[in-house]
Structure 1
Amino acid sequence: MSQAGTRPLPEEVVEKAKQHVLDTFAAMISGAELPPGRAALQFVQAYGGKEVATVVASRIVCGPLEAAFANGVLAHSDETDDSHGPSRSHPGASVVPATFAAGEQFGISGAHFLRAVTLGYDVGPRVTMCMGGPGYQAATHRSTHGTVAAFAAGAAAGCAAGLNAQQFRFLLDYAAQQTSGIGAWTRDAEHIEKAFLFGGKPAAAGVGTAMLIRAGWTGVDDVFSGSDSFFDAYAPRENGVVKADTSQLISGLGERYEITRTNIKKWTVGSPIQAPLDALAGFFRKRSFTADEVQKVVVRIASDEANTVSNREMPDICMQHIIAVMLLDKTVTFVSAHDKARMQDPAVLRQRAKVEVVADPRIDARRPRREAIVELTLADGTQLTEWVRDVRGTAENPMTRDEIVVKARDLMTPVLGSAGCSALIDRLLSLETLGDIRELRQTLQKD
């Protein structure tokens, strides 16, 4: 961790890091127009702070902790940000805001920024991977997302702050003390608590911790072992014995980059809806048909996913609604996925009535992969079936740079305008050439 700020990354990892940074900033900018984002901007505008760090999609410049908090909430105001399957987390929502705020505080270069971001993705996910990844929340009722984010944001901010090895030991201790989040976030109907837990809180905590340790604060030398360790407190137990494969903390560290295993969403909707939309897009390529020609759509997904996206009140995480929109429009955009009024449109409701969501044990057995089986029946009796195993945007089926740019434009143009959007994309895709990350401020602000 202490060497990451100056250690060159492989070219393909640099490219992947730039793509995730672009995707996360796009999520922040689009999030500024949504209720969690508006709440964050109102809070930080009233709270203030020393003018050091940029709050995206606004004219606000404030303290680094406040900026990290606001930008973290913006990044997960919606379901457009990236996700890491093996750890069940959304690393970008905490890592990029924390690195940006700390980077502005300490005036780091674009290359240093990319290395710090990459470190955050490497450290945070490995913590829950030690404890069973997606099964960790089911076993403990604690949030994998909040746990990963605490360590990921701290590691990234610590790298931006230039901490040495001993200081990073203390930082890991403080990150452990600030780990939080319980599974109740799944009941959040407005996405505000979720944005706080996944992005805002850990981003601010990571920056604050890095600044405290840099200022000379000390702590426990090794929070992962010894009495009352992190794993004693947080890991699941079986017959009283801690269940944690601690070797996963450093397995492949510096060789296997978790940012290359992190998914970028093609569709600006909840993760469990990605595979079904891929399937429908494939059906449209194979055969021409209208929504009214569809008799029935059966979507088979994992049990936990069905609980997350079946008949939800928010349009972008409601499987039945989004499938109906896809049938009518033959695509899903950011605007169509967030048009809540359309949930009452009779034309949409007619199509929604045809959609059945089924928790399928075959897909349960494939978790944490985001797979789905979609069965579509037309009025003439034709049946189309697709088992989507490699969702577009995953490591197994990655999006191209051009596809990610198209998605970013869809998210950012309504907020920044076409020219502003193009300028920001150009800057973010050449980050390694920036002498000071503060040079990003002008392209990220909105009048």
Structure 2
Amino acid sequence: MDAPHRSFVPMAVPNSGPELTRRNLLAKGTWVLAGTALHLPSYLFSEPQQTPSVSAPIGRVMQSLSTYMASAATRPLPPAIIEQAKDHILDTFAAMISGSQLPPGRAAIAFAESYSGKPVASVATSNILCGPLEAALANGVLAHSDETDDSHSPSQSHPGCAVIPAALAAGEQFSISGHHFLRAVTLGYDIGPRFGVTLGGVDYQTETHRDPHATSEGFGAAAAAGCAAALDARQMRFLLDYAAQQSSGFTAWQRDTLHFEKAFVFAGMPARNGVASALLVQAGWSGVDDVFSGPESFFAAYAPHANPQGLVDGLGERYEITRTNIKKWCVGSPIQAPLDAAQLLLNQHSFTPNQLRRVTVRVATREASIVDNRTLPDICLQHLVAVMLVERTLTFRSAHDTALMKDPAILRQRAKVTLLGDEELEKRLPAREATVEILLNDGTVLTQHVDAVRGTAENPMSREEVIAKSRDLIEPVLGAASSKLLISAVLQLEQLTDIHHLSRLLRTY
């Protein structure tokens, strides 16, 4: 039986006299709010009305950029660009897989497992299926768990470690084809590095203490994910707006000696933010039509003197993936040229470690400070040069073997290695050149200068070299058979009708 209807009668609040207590004040406030609610206008309780976004004239740069981005999903790519994209995809997958064995990579997999979300997207070297945001973050961190992934010197960015995880996560969300995936990846490489160059590259980082890696890679990841989501031109403008709002990162990451924060800033964060931008806009969110122009714009906040025209210069003619370096050696970029030089000397001359009296390595002054006697083996120049001179080569395993840092034979040679910052080489940045000079016990001086590191655009690695590097990284984790299947699938991406066929090869069961 229903309770009888009663009229509302407010409860009397006791008066405590001139001095009110906290309890009495709360009681009075509650009943005032309750009484007021009875008289609030009904429209406050109705469904919110959608208001259109505030429109403003769209600048020529944004118009060109968004139109180009929107057509990327269906625009054919030149055959040579497709082949280069495959090399970078394979190289990044290899970095993700090898990164799973390092502390940041293991932490990324544990994170994805704890916050798995909807089972849509894959996390490399695991059996985890999770939401696209978690997958993008985890795979990004895996790809930059150390110094194995590719890099774009003019922009001071590492495109692959953010762009490819973002394209993969969004691609799995929307079940895109292999062709579509290649186009999304190539677009990400085209857009992200252009931001780094336009902002000012090395000078921008020095002047602002902001990190161009995170900003460039965030826009690149957003472009790749937006292409996977097949956004139209206006949606691409909103995508860039949300990518701009999420742009972040500053150089404090250098204080984290274990590479966790660097992996997050360079890869995990921008990959996740790029996918988030695409998913928000694809779900119907509105935004600002041109975040790059006007007094309250991205450039007004980040680089008032930059020329936004750089974002579209050469677009469709100059593919930035052709200016992106694949590392021959799985070590910090400033150590690439010294290792090349040391190996060239070993190949050209006959000498043993015991014949060495002194080894002098010259790199740009700024670069020297990054790799000078670091505690991690893969970013310690003196240690890695010593390993090269003793073992006559360097593998992923030897570059990351912390036990070698205490090996007596390595330590004897490391004591002979002197690192010098060179102001002349500093002037040539972002080109990373190096000179290695070896003095033998008999007084012989051997010198080798490297101005085009193997794997750079000026001295590219062959397809066979990229495959050999990838096998070295993949086989110890997934095994020879799985490695062969993954490499074959990447090299035949155009034949895949669904990207899930590729992503399954990254996982373990």
- The TM-score, its normalising length taken from structure 1, stands at 0.98
Contact 2:346–2:389 (8 Å) recurs in 1: no
Amino acid of the structure 1 residue aligned with 2:503: R
Is 1:413 the equivalent of 2:481? no
Residue by residue, what CA displacement relative to the aligned partner does 1:328-362 show, whole Å, maximum 9, x if unpaired? 00001000000012111121111111111111011
**Which residue number in structure 1 is paired with residue 79 of structure 2?**
11
Partners of 2:244 and 2:173 lie apart in 1 by 23
Partners of 2:241 and 2:275 lie apart in 1 by 14
Query: Please, which of 188, 193, 202 is the counterpart of residue 134 of structure 1?
Result: 202
Q: Kindly state the Cα deviation for residue 131 of structure 1 after the two structures are TM-superposed.
A: 2.1
Give SS of 2:119's match.
Answer: coil
**Which residue number in structure 1 is paired with residue 23 of structure 2?**
none
Partners of 1:249 and 1:208 lie apart in 2 by 22
List gaps (5 residues or longer) in structure 2: 1-68
Contact 1:186–1:308 (8 Å) recurs in 2: no
**Which residue number in structure 2 is paired with residue 59 of structure 1?**
127
Give SS of 2:157's match.
Answer: coil
Query: Please, which of 419, 423, 429 is the counterpart of residue 367 of structure 1?
Result: 429
Deviates more, 1:18-27 or 1:362-371: 362-371
Give SS of 2:436's match.
Answer: strand
Partners of 2:130 and 2:327 lie apart in 1 by 31
Q: Kindly state the Cα deviation for residue 205 of structure 1 after the two structures are TM-superposed.
A: 1.1
Is 1:279 the equivalent of 2:345? no
Contact 1:415–1:446 (8 Å) recurs in 2: no
Contact 1:80–1:267 (8 Å) recurs in 2: yes
Contact 1:36–1:77 (8 Å) recurs in 2: yes
Is 1:85 the equivalent of 2:132? no
Structure 1 or 2, whichever has the larger Rg, is: 2
Give SS of 1:40's match.
Answer: helix
Give SS of 1:6's match.
Answer: coil
Q: Kindly state the Cα deviation for residue 45 of structure 1 after the two structures are TM-superposed.
A: 0.7
Residue by residue, what CA displacement relative to the aligned partner does 1:307-328 show, whole Å, maximum 9, x if unpaired? 1111110000000000010010
Partners of 1:445 and 1:44 lie apart in 2 by 13
Is 1:250 the equivalent of 2:312? yes
Residue by residue, what CA displacement relative to the aligned partner does 1:279-316 show, whole Å, maximum 9, x if unpaired? 01111111111111111111111122111111110000
Residue by residue, what CA displacement relative to the aligned partner does 1:103-123 show, whole Å, maximum 9, x if unpaired? 000011101101100100111
Deviates more, 1:342-351 or 1:191-200: 342-351
Amino acid of the structure 1 residue aligned with 2:147: E
Is 1:295 the equivalent of 2:357? yes
Query: Please, which of 285, 291, 300 is the counterpart of residue 217 of structure 1?
Result: 285
Amino acid of the structure 1 residue aligned with 2:188: G
**Which residue number in structure 2 is paired with residue 207 of structure 1?**
275
Partners of 1:294 and 1:81 lie apart in 2 by 33
Partners of 1:199 and 1:305 lie apart in 2 by 21
Is 1:183 the equivalent of 2:245? no
Q: Pairwise mapping of residues 253-332 of structure 1 onto structure 2 (< 5 A)?
A: 253-332=315-394
**Which residue number in structure 1 is paired with residue 452 of structure 2?**
390
Amino acid of the structure 2 residue aligned with 1:35: P
Contact 2:190–2:321 (8 Å) recurs in 1: yes
Partners of 1:306 and 1:283 lie apart in 2 by 21
Residue by residue, what CA displacement relative to the aligned partner does 1:17-45 show, whole Å, maximum 9, x if unpaired? 00000000000000000000000111111
Partners of 1:318 and 1:245 lie apart in 2 by 37
Partners of 1:65 and 1:398 lie apart in 2 by 33
Amino acid of the structure 2 residue aligned with 1:204: R
Q: Kindly state the Cα deviation for residue 254 of structure 1 after the two structures are TM-superposed.
A: 0.8
Q: Kindly state the Cα deviation for residue 442 of structure 1 after the two structures are TM-superposed.
A: 2.7
Q: What is the RMSD of the two structures over their aligned residues, measured on CA atoms?
A: 0.8
Give SS of 2:133's match.
Answer: helix
Residue by residue, what CA displacement relative to the aligned partner does 1:43-63 show, whole Å, maximum 9, x if unpaired? 111111111011111111111
Q: Kindly state the Cα deviation for residue 374 of structure 1 after the two structures are TM-superposed.
A: 1.2
Residue by residue, what CA displacement relative to the aligned partner does 1:388-413 show, whole Å, maximum 9, x if unpaired? 11100000000000000000000010
Query: After the TM superposition, which parts of structure 1 deviate over 3 Å for at least 4 consecutive aligned residues?
Result: none
- The TM-score, its normalising length taken from structure 2, stands at 0.86
Contact 1:20–1:264 (8 Å) recurs in 2: yes
Residue by residue, what CA displacement relative to the aligned partner does 1:67-126 show, whole Å, maximum 9, x if unpaired? 111100000001000000000010100000000000000011101101100100111111
Contact 2:122–2:504 (8 Å) recurs in 1: no
Partners of 2:307 and 2:428 lie apart in 1 by 21
Q: Kindly state the Cα deviation for residue 245 of structure 1 after the two structures are TM-superposed.
A: 2.5
Amino acid of the structure 1 residue aligned with 2:301: A
Query: Please, which of 144, 147, 157 is the counterpart of residue 215 of structure 2?
Result: 147
List gaps (5 residues or longer) in structure 1: 236-241
**Which residue number in structure 1 is paired with residue 113 of structure 2?**
45
Is 1:194 the equivalent of 2:262? yes
**Which residue number in structure 2 is paired with residue 103 of structure 1?**
171
Partners of 1:381 and 1:430 lie apart in 2 by 54
Q: Kindly state the Cα deviation for residue 379 of structure 1 after the two structures are TM-superposed.
A: 1.1
**Which residue number in structure 1 is paired with residue 506 of structure 2?**
444
Query: Please, which of 484, 487, 498 is the counterpart of residue 422 of structure 1?
Result: 484
Partners of 1:248 and 1:374 lie apart in 2 by 37
